[in-house]
Structure 1
Amino acid sequence: MIFLFRLLLIAVFTYLLALISPWWSTIFCAALVAFFLPGNNFNAFLSGFMGVGLVWMVMAWKVDIETASIMSAKMVELFPVDDSNMLIIVAAIVGGFAGALGAFSGNSFRQLFIKKKEKTFYN
């Protein structure tokens, strides 16, 4: 349940920050959410990837629709892709990895402050 809550918070904050700040602010957003909501590293990585990746995919698709694919058609000529939809998927993957690494870093930074239990004979 905390995974879905973390994913939703990352997605909402990423969308709101993307309106007023640069693209790299999503990394800090994912890191802060993963810092304050505990979980294991894989969980944080996956929630950051999905949260930021989905937002970037929707925003790229929205821009593509609003501009009638003019920019996408020119980008397809520059890069070796066949379709403008591939550009949207690549944007989602790049954004997803940025968010995933941010969330992983935030969660790992939190684990620096957690005192680990000592192993005893009875544990």
Structure 2
Amino acid sequence: MGLIAPWWSAITAAALVAFFLPGNNFNAILSGFMGVGLIWMVLAWKIDVETKSIMSNKMIELFPVDDVNMLIIITAIIGGLAGALGAFSGNSFRQIFIRKKEKSFYN
């Protein structure tokens, strides 16, 4: 989705996946971080290779980063945090609609 949709579409996709797949908050955060972070890292690397690092070198001049690879890793971390927040939001929204089981004497 990152190639044809806006940047926030990955966050929306992480929220939808966490909404429809049951799990606890930790699993949702971890899967959102890993999923979106890896996708953003691959996309940043692909853009870097296609532009022969022209864009990356200009970004290095703006930010206090010494290496193109570090810039790609920072991009992946930022994307991972955004995906983790999206997945946490989707999982929390799903938990609103789940009815808690009442404890029974026999359980």
> Normalised by the size of structure 1, how large is the TM-score?
0.82
Give, in whole Å, the separation in 2 of the partners of 1:27 and 1:68. 28
Give, in whole Å, the separation in 2 of the partners of 1:111 and 1:75. 41
Aligned equivalent of 2:92: 108
| Displacement after TM superposition at 1:120 (Å) | 4.5
Q: Which has the higher contact order (CA 8 A, sep 6+)?
A: 2
How do residues 28-43 of structure 1 correspond to structure 2 at under 5 angstroms?
Answer: 28-43=12-27
Give, in whole Å, the separation in 2 of the partners of 1:69 and 1:108. 40
Larger helix proportion of the pair: 1
| Displacement after TM superposition at 1:31 (Å) | 0.5
How large is the RMSD of aligned CA atoms in angstroms? 1.2
Of all paired residues, the percent bearing the same amino acid is 79
| Displacement after TM superposition at 1:100 (Å) | 0.7
> Normalised by the size of structure 2, how large is the TM-score?
0.94
Q: 5+ residue gaps in structure 1?
A: 1-16
Number of equivalent positions: 107
How do residues 1-123 of structure 1 correspond to structure 2 at under 5 angstroms?
Answer: 17-120=1-104, 123=107
